[in-house]
Every structure is written in C-alpha cells, then in structure tokens.
C-alpha cells in the first residue's frame, strides 16, 4: 500500500496526548485457577463417561421411536436443542427435519399455535423455507390474530420466538411479533414460575438472538422444574454440560498461560485490557462443541490480538508510529521490525507470530488454505484502524454514510470468519473462502449489526476517553437528531439487518448450514455480551461475570 504521509492529513499533528486517565476495570479472574489436576480429570471421566454413553443411546432410541409421529418429533427435537446437546444427534435431526419439510404442511391442519410455531421455527433454523402462511388460520375475519389466543401462554411464547425468524416483506410475522409481545407483557404479572421467568427472559432476548450454550444452561434449570420432564433428557443434558465445562476450563488454562507469556501489560505504554476469560466466553459462543477446541483457542487469541491493535489506535498518541505499524502489517515482513522502534513493534511481532502459529497448526491438520485469507483480513482491519485514527486526530466527525465502511472494517470480523471456516475441516474450500472474502450480503449484515451494537455499548466508555466518533454520533450528525433518537433508529436498523440475515440464511445454498450458523453466532454473541448498552467485555462485572460462573466455574449438580 502507499505510505501514509502527515502532509496528506492537513492540520494533523503526528503526536497527541495519550489517553492515560481512563481506568480499565480490574481483571476479575486474575489468579483464578480454572484447571483440574489430571488425576481428578481421569476420575471424573471414568465415573461419568459410561453413564453418559448409556443415556446417549437412550436418547437416540427416543428419536428413532418418534420417527412416525411429527408432533412427538417436534417436541423432542425442540427439547434436545434447547437443552444444549443437539450436536450429538445432528445427522438424525437433519434427516427428520428434511423429511418433515418435504412432507408439507398437511399435518398442521389440526395443530395448535404452540406446535405450528415450533414447526416454523425449527425448520427455518435448519435453513428450510417454511411458509409463514401456516399462521393465517390463527387470524379472524378482519385479518387480526384471534383474541382467544391471548389465553394460551405457551402458544403465545412459541409464536413470539418464531416471529424472530421472519424476513423482509412478511407482514404476518411482524404482526405476530407485535401481537405476541403485547400479550406476553400483559400476562406476565399473572404467570407463575418457571413460565414467568421464561417469558421475562424471552422478552429481553429471543432465542434467535441467543447464544446456544448460555440458553442450554438456562433451559436445564427451567426443564428441571417441568412436571412433565423426561428424566433421561435431563440427566444427559447435565452430564454433557459438565463434561464440556471441564474441556472449556482446560482451554482457558492454556490461553491464560499464552497470554501471560506475552506480558503485554508491561511491554506497552497504554492501558491493556486483560480479559482472557471474557474473550474466551464470547468466542466460545461461536462454537462450543468439543471438536472445535482449537477453533475456540484461535478465536480467543485473535480477539485479544485485535483488541491490542484497537487500543493502540484509540488510546496511543503517536500517529507516526501507527502509520509505521499499518505499513508493516501491509508488507508482512519480519524485517519490518527494524522500522518499528517504538512499543508497537511488540504488537506487530505478536500479530505475525499468531498467524504463523495458525498456519503451522492448520498445516498439521491439512486445512491451511484459509491462512492467506485470514492474513489479508487482518491487514484490512489494521488499515481501517489507521483510517479511524486519522479521523480521531482530525477531530472531524463524518456522516454515517462516510463512516460506516470504515467502522465496519474496524470491527475486524473477517479474519474471525475465516478462522471459523478453517476449523470446519474439509468444508473450508477455496469457494467458501472466496465467498467470505467477497463480503456477501449475509456477512455485511452481521458486520453492521456487530459494529452498531458495539458502538452503542461502548459509547459511554469512549466518551470518557475523549473518543467522540461512533456510528451513534455520526448518525446524529447526518440526520440532525438527538442521541436518544439516533440509538432508537440504529436499533431499528439492527432489526432490519436481522431480517436480511434470516433471508440470506434461507437462500444461500452453496455454503454449508453449519458454517452459516457458526458465523451467525458472532451477531448472537454481540447481542448477548454488548446488548442493552453494556460493554460486557471491558466492564465484565455483572452480566458477563454471571455467565462465566454459570458456564465455566459452577458445574450442574446431578
């Protein structure tokens, strides 16, 4: 790339005062030992694995027995997915849902709102274009949802969850969301637990925007209180959750050792966000299953590396050094270290080392084709970061239209998506990686959602740091509105992006559905950890801390 010159940035000094007054909240997990001794691990595995295998076989038999009863199939698949262990039965569930989709909707003729909504949601989650027309039978002569449905709490909740799978132009799904939301709020004060708790949580975060592992842990608690629960499903869910938790604890131990070895807190002159556990819990939202252990480690490392780069551009006050870092990353040559005399040489070195590590480990598995794509994604990320830094030095607030392309680039999710693909084994073909690099509509919407949600969550923190450029402030400038109006309108934009994602999810057939789901989980992670205007990564006390305790620290008692 062409070298950046200070002369090309009129009125911009090469040095500004570094931001040192902002205090990053302390690391909540410093000194916490997540590891289990090998003896303890062996004892646990020996005691539990046999029972877990027996239960798994029993669940498989339940799936087989339900093969001729579509109503029983729907209920069983829904519970297996909600309890968090569907990955054990992907082939069986895929076959059942494909058969159900191909058989059409005639069996729904006598189905109630609850069953119809589950049918719609499960099929769309699996990538099948289930018709929204199935909900027409629940409307009255005036085209509104029937008033008597309002007394069916389970049915209304099921409709509410299904409505978030709607796409643009499906007015009936917009009407379903409005109807279900209204009546869930009306009935909530009169419901008893556990249903009341489920409704309250759903109104805050619907399933379509939820993280599967977090929802699985939550649903296990709900299901345990269900008088009609199946004990086999419940016990298997608990044992499987705990087994995965032990694996995740071990991965955090590995990552903590790596991060401490980098010692970036003492090597860099600007505040470093020491957030290994938080980065891990966010990235494990992409895929939590055991076969993706290396993928979680790679995603967590790149999250921490890109955070170092982001903080350098946001808080470090030397534009000339940022320029050298950007140019070095573009050329990608170890010799560039000689040009980097300041502390940012450590950021460059660890970025290069990370890519080399991924390349080596992917070659060992025969899936290294994606490494050049990932490297290019990192280069584009750093280039966008430098473009953003120039705006910060100029203190020139652009319009949203001008800012959005840069802002999406600074989110830096393309190399994350390429890591996700590489960890899908043989699915990581050149065609898939070219599709990712082309930034198709599905990825564009995911990147936009992530950028907007991040900016709304970090607005207060960055304002305290003296950073005034974000999608919120740029929207305010372009449309001449207040912050409150800007945030509300941006939330509406996010809702529309979700509809576009739903549409693309149903129509992109050249990309494996398991890869699409994992990529989509980036947006879900952002909704969970950055939703409601909270930066759950930097300021993890509270919501993120509670999630870490529930998923990583505390096992489920069996």
Distance CA 412, CA 290 (A): 26
List of domains in the chain: 46-236 (1.50.10.130), 263-553 (1.10.600.10)
pLDDT at position 383 over 80: yes
Give the pLDDT score at 21. 61
pLDDT at 381 over 70: yes
Look at residue 35 in the predicted model and tell me its pLDDT: 82
DSSP state string for 162-190: HHTT--TT-HHHHHHHHHHHHHHHHHGGG
Residues 505, 513: Cα–Cα separation, whole Å: 8
Q: Cα separation of 86 and 96, whole Å?
A: 13
Alpha-carbon span 36 to 479, nearest angstrom: 55
Q: Is the pLDDT of residue 166 over 90?
A: yes
d(CA 235, CA 113): 29
Considering only residues 144 and 395, tell me which one the structure prediction assigns the higher pLDDT: 144
Is residue 193 very low, low, confident or very high in pLDDT (cuts 50, 70, 90)? Answer: confident
Q: Kindly report the three-state secondary structure assignment for every residue of 333-387.
A: CHHHHHCCCCCHHHHHHHHHHHHHHHHHHHHHHCCHHHHHHHHHHHHHHHHHHHH
Q: Strand pairing partners for 517?
A: none
CA distance 116 to 74: 10
pLDDT over threshold 70, residue 5 = no
Report whether pLDDT(337) > 70.
no
Average pLDDT value for the chain:
91
Distance CA 280, CA 213 (A): 13
Q: Output the pLDDT for position 12.
A: 47
Residue length of the chain? 558
What mean pLDDT comes out for the span 405-412? 89
d(CA 284, CA 287): 5
**Which SS3 state, helix, strand or coil, does residue 145 take?**
strand
**pLDDT score for 38:** 47
Please give the Cα distance from 160 to 365 (Å, whole number): 43
- DSSP result, 9-56: STT--SB-----SPPPPP-TTTT------HHHHHHHHHHHHHHHHHHH
- Asked if residue 22 has pLDDT above 70, the reply is no
Q: What is the pLDDT of residue 367?
A: 78
With a cut of 80, say whether residue 466 has pLDDT above it: no
Percent of the chain with pLDDT over 90: 77
In sign, the C-alpha dihedral spanning 282, 286, 292, 297 is negative
The model's pTM? 0.94
pLDDT for residue 1 is more than 80? no
Under the banding of pLDDT at 50, 70 and 90, the label for residue 396 is confident
* Residue-wise pLDDT tens digits, 7-19: 344 444 554 565 6
Position 6 confidence tier, pLDDT thresholds 50, 70, 90: very low
- Compute the CA torsion angle 54, 213, 443, 158 (nearest 10 deg): 90
Contact between 123 and 130 (Cβ < 8 Å) = yes
Q: In the predicted model, is pLDDT for residue 43 greater than 60?
A: no
Over range 238-242, report the average pLDDT.
97
CA distance 460 to 22: 12
Residues 6+ apart with CB under 8 A from 405: none
What is the radius of gyration, based on Cα positions, of the chain? 25
Q: How confident is the model at residue 45 (pLDDT cuts 50, 70, 90)?
A: low
Q: 428 vs 162, which has greater pLDDT?
A: 162
Query: Does residue 239 contact residue 45 with C-beta atoms inside 8 Å?
Result: no
d(CA 480, CA 496) in angstroms, rounded, equals 22
Question: Over 70: is that where the pLDDT of 416 sits?
Answer: yes
Looking at the chain, the whole-number percentage of residues with pLDDT higher than 70 is 93
The kind and range of the H/E element at 423 are none
Q: How does DSSP assign 285-301, residue by residue? A: TT--SGGGHHHHHHHHH
Q: How far apart are the first and last CA of the chain?
A: 58
Half-sphere exposure at residue 310, Cβ-oriented, CA atoms within 13 angstroms: 17
What pLDDT does residue 289 have?
A: 98
Q: What is the C-alpha to C-alpha distance for residues 131 and 111, in angstroms, rounded to an integer?
A: 15
Q: What pLDDT score does 42 carry?
A: 53
Tens of pLDDT, residue by residue over 82-115, are: 999 999 999 999 999 999 999 999 999 999 999 9
| pLDDT value, residue 153 | 96
* In contact, 474 and 401? CB cutoff 8 Å: no
The answer to whether residue 366 scores a pLDDT higher than 60 is yes
Alpha-carbon span 329 to 380, nearest angstrom: 9
Pick from 168-182, 359-373, 395-409, 531-545 the range whose average pLDDT is largest. 168-182
Nearest alpha-carbon partner for 172 in 206, 141, 138: 138
* C-alpha closest to that of 464 among 541, 542, 535, 387: 535
Q: Residue 393 pLDDT more than 90?
A: no
Under 8 Å CB-to-CB from 238, ≥6 apart: which residues? 220, 556, 557, 558
Phi, psi of 285 (to 5 degrees): -70, -25
Q: Average pLDDT for residues 548-555, to the nearest whole number?
A: 97
- Report yes or no: 435 and 540 within 8 Å, Cβ to Cβ: no
> What is the band of 41 on the pLDDT scale with cuts at 50, 70, 90?
low
For the ranges 183-197, 328-342, 363-377, the maximum mean pLDDT occurs at 183-197
Give helix then strand counts, H and E, for the chain: 23, 0
Higher pLDDT, 366 or 300: 300
CA 164 to chain CA centroid, nearest Å: 16
């Amino acid at each position: 790339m062409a070298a950046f010159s200070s002369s090309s940035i009129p009125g911009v000094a090469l040095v500004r005062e570094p931001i040192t007054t902002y205090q990053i909240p302390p690391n909540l997990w410093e000194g916490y030992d997540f590891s289990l001794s090998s003896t303890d691990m062996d004892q646990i595995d020996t005691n539990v694995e046999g029972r877990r295998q027996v239960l798994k076989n029993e669940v498989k038999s339940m799936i087989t027995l339900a093969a001729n009863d579509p109503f029983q199939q729907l209920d069983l698949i829904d519970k297996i997915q909600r309890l968090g262990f569907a990955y054990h039965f992907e082939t069986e569930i895929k076959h059942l849902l494909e058969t159900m989709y191909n058989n059409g909707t005639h069996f729904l003729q006598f189905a109630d709102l609850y069953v119809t909504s589950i049918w719609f949601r499960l099929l769309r989650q699996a990538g099948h274009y289930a018709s929204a027309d199935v909900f027409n039978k629940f409307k009255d002569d005036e085209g509104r949802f029937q008033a008597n449905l309002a007394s069916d709490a389970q049915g209304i909740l099921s409709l509410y969850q299904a409505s978030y799978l709607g796409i643009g132009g499906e007015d009936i799904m917009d009407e379903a969301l409005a109807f279900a939301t209204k009546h869930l709020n009306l009935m909530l004060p009169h419901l008893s637990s556990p249903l009341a708790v489920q409704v309250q949580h759903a109104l805050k975060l619907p399933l379509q925007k939820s993280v599967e592992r977090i929802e699985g842990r939550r649903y296990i608690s709900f299901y345990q209180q269900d008088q009609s629960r199946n004990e086999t499903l419940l016990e298997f869910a608990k044992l499987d959750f705990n087994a995965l938790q032990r694996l995740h604890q071990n991965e955090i131990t590995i990552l903590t050792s790596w991060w401490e070895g980098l010692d970036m807190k003492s090597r860099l002159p600007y505040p470093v966000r020491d957030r290994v556990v938080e980065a891990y819990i966010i990235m494990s939202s992409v895929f939590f299953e055991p076969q993706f252990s290396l993928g979680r480690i790679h995603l967590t490392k790149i999250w921490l590396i890109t955070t170092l780069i982001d903080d350098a551009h946001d808080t470090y006050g030397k534009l000339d050094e940022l320029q050298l870092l950007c140019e070095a990353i573009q050329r990608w040559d170890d010799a560039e270290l000689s040009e980097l005399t300041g502390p940012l040489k450590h950021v460059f070195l660890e970025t290069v080392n990370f890519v080399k590590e991924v390349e080596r480990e992917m070659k060992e598995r025969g899936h290294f084709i994606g490494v050049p794509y990932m490297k290019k994604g990192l280069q584009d990320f750093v280039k966008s970061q430098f473009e953003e830094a120039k705006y910060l030095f100029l203190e020139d607030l652009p319009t949203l239209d001008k800012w959005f392309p840069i802002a999406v680039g600074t989110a830096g999710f393309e190399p994350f998506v390429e890591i996700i693909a590489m960890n899908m084994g043989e699915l990581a073909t050149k065609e898939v990686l070219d599709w990712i690099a082309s930034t198709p509509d599905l990825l564009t919407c995911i990147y936009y959602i992530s950028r907007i949600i991040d900016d709304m969550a970090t607005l207060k923190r960055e304002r305290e740091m003296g950073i005034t450029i974000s999608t919120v402030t740029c929207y305010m400038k372009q449309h001449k509105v207040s912050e409150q109006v800007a945030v509300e309108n941006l939330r509406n934009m996010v809702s529309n992006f979700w509809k576009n994602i739903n549409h693309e999810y149903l129509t992109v057939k050249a990309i494996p559905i398991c890869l699409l789901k994992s990529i989509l989980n980036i947006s879900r992670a952002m909704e969970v950890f950055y939703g409601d205007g909270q930066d759950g990564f930097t300021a993890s006390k509270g919501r993120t801390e509670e999630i870490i305790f529930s998923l990583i620290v505390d096992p489920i008692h069996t």
